[in-house]
Structure 1
Amino acid sequence: MAIYRCGRCGSINRVADERVRDRPRCGRCKAQLDTAGAPQPVDGAALAQAIASSPVPILVDCWATWCGPCRTVAPIVDALGRNHAGKMLVLKLDTDADPAEAGRRRIQGVPTFLLFHRGRELDRRTGVASRADLERWIASHTGQPPARASHP
């Protein structure tokens, strides 16, 4: 069973593994689900909804448009999302667009990565990290083995 978040309404959808390639639709709003696993932008309300309802781990990339290191790590975050598609949600919180949420989450520098599972924050780390380091960090907290690299 794979888990996908609807980019339109934010609903969490369960999709049978054999149905992932059939272009599944959201059970609530009927929008087509992005099963590729690309990171999805969220605001504070959408983030809270995902944290409360996701049965799979969530990696949140807290970033800002002016942040050079954030742009450096963006392709790594994209690859993590795509390689963990259906097994982990990857979300992006623009700290400039939602400074109140950044404050609530105690984000003091960007990029900051937050890792959630079963409604609670497991860990956080700030600064650029290699893909291998992020994979190990995720695995150490979730028990999920590092994903095989199918995207650079």
Structure 2
Amino acid sequence: MSDGLLFRCGACGQLNKIAAARRFDAPKCGRCKQKLDTTGHPQDVSDAELQRAVASSPVPVLVDFWAPWCGPCRQLAPHIADLAGRHAGKLLVLKLNTEEHRETAGALQIQSIPTLCVYANGALAFRQPGAVFGPQLEAVVAPFL
């Protein structure tokens, strides 16, 4: 992917490869033709959407397993958004609300939130329970970039 960046369409979930030089040219999704968000902002997904993204992404996928009532999850959210923006196009950042979508969290036996998981080449490569900030958060994804 050195010659392009990867962005997920928020409307249809399609993964789109965009030339780095065209990132800010208001690119559109190749499938549904909706405007792509190229900021890298974390996207909320369902269990099925997460499985599709992980299976087809050529870039690492960071998943934030969270819940709206979780204080540490809310504290971590802006740090995740910042990380996502800094690595936009080279890291896909997704959020899975464990209150609404329980299947994946159950399959992974996630017992505390927030839990961060990194997928590489379609497989779970790293798991970090608990909120981490600053250099520790960067260290979660650094080996996969």
TM-score range, shorter chain: over 0.9
The match for 1:25 is: 28
Matched residue count? 142
Q: What is the CA-CA distance between 1:130 and the residue it aligns to?
A: 1.0
Aligned to 1:48: 51
Superimposed CA distance per residue, residues 41-98 of structure 1 (whole angstroms, 9 cap, x where no aligned partner): 0010000000011000000000001100000101100101111100000000000011
Per the normalisation by structure 2, the TM-score is 0.95
2:88 to 85, 88, 111: 85
Aligned-residue identity in percent:
47
Give 1:101 deviation, angstroms.
2.5
Q: Which runs of 5+ in 2 are unaligned?
A: none
Q: For 1:58, which of 58, 61, 65 is the aligned residue?
A: 61
Once residues 124 and 103 of structure 2 are traced to their aligned partners in structure 1, the CA distance between those partners, rounded to angstroms, is 18
Query: Runs of 4+ in structure 1 displaced over 6 angstroms?
Result: none
Aligned-pair RMSD on alpha carbons?
Answer: 0.8
C-alpha distance in structure 2 between counterparts of 1:50 and 1:106, whole Å: 20
